[in-house]
Amino acid sequence: MGIKITVNIALECLDEDSAQEILLHAMHHKLLNYLIPIPGHLVSGYEVADWRYKNWGDVRELEYNSGWILKNKLFLELYGDNPNKLYGLLLECDKINAVTLNYTGDDGIVKPVICGIYVNREHIGLK
């Protein structure tokens, strides 16, 4: 477990239903499990934690703070430890057309390392 990081995300989804589905998973603190589900064959807590760390970049789910939908656009504010991994998972989701993400840590400085806009997996924003 690391520093609590505030992650701001803007998504353009395929349609409003996709945006609603993603928002509901985020609100129930199950967004990472939606993007990359935990395999059913893992039984022990240690196996699950190890799998989560390898695939999610952290052993726990993201914490939902706020979110809203405007047609097929989804805006989220989440708390988590690994925004780089989350960014990659969002880019791979077939229900998302475009992603932009920024995050701040305890120092309050916005990190532009992975900021930018991707449309159909092509970078068109900041570098």
CA distance 26 to 108: 23
Mean pLDDT of 31-55: 91
pLDDT score at 124:
53
- Kindly indicate whether the domain formed by 5-123 is annotated with CATH number 2.40.128: no
* Residue in this structure with the two tokens 């395929």, named with its chain if needed: 14
Q: What is the pLDDT of residues 70-85, one digit of tens each?
A: 999 999 999 987 888 8
More confident residue, 61 or 109: 61
CA distance 20 to 13: 9
Assess whether pLDDT exceeds 50 at residue 127.
no
Assess whether pLDDT exceeds 70 at residue 38.
yes
Mean pLDDT of 21-30: 96
pLDDT score at 2:
55
pLDDT score at 109:
57
Mean pLDDT, the chain, rounded, equals 84
Assess whether pLDDT exceeds 50 at residue 119.
yes
CA distance 85 to 14: 22
Each domain of the chain, given as residue ranges in start order, spans 5-123
Sorted by sequence, the CB contacts under 8 Å of residue 76 that are 6+ apart come out as: 7, 8, 9, 11, 23, 26, 64, 66, 67
CA distances from 47 to 5, 78, 105 (A): 25, 25, 29
Q: What is the pTM of this model?
A: 0.80
